[in-house]
Amino acid sequence: MGFEDIIDDLNIDSNEENKENNTFNFEMEEYKTPAGTNYEEEDEEKETRGRKKTVHAKNVIGDNLETIADKLDYIKKQSYQSNIREAADDAGKEVIKIAKIISRIL
C-alpha cells in the first residue's frame, strides 16, 4: 500500500459546519509497516530499548560517583590540614547530592 493509497483512504468530512470552523474530521485505519508491525508496537520497542540503556547509564554513573566520593573521603581522612579536610568533605557531600539527583532523573 503506497502513500497515495493512504491519502485516498482518508475520509474527510467537509460539511458546512466544519468549513465555517476551518476544521476537518479524519477517520483513518491502522496501517501496517513494511515489517508487518504497527506503529504503536515500534514505539513500545523503542521505550524498552531506552529503559535498558537508562538502567545501564544509571549504574555506570552511580559507580563512578561512588568512586569519587570514596576518594574524597580518603583525602579527608589522610589530610592534616583542616581546610583540605573541609573541602574534601564538602565536595563529597556535593557528589552525593548529584548522585541522588541523577537517580531521580534516571
Is the whole-model pTM more than 0.95?
no
Residue 2: CB atoms within 10 Å: 7
For the cut 50, the answer to whether the pLDDT of residue 31 exceeds it is no
Predicted local distance difference test score (pLDDT) of residue 57: 81
Mapped to the 3 state alphabet, what secondary structure does 16-77 carry? HHHHHHCCCEEECCCCCCCCCCCHHHHHHHHHHHHHHHHHHHHHHHHHHHHHHHHHHHHHHH
Per-residue pLDDT reduced to its tens digit, 42-92: 555 555 555 777 778 888 888 888 889 889 889 989 988 889 889 999 998
Predicted local distance difference test score (pLDDT) of residue 11: 46
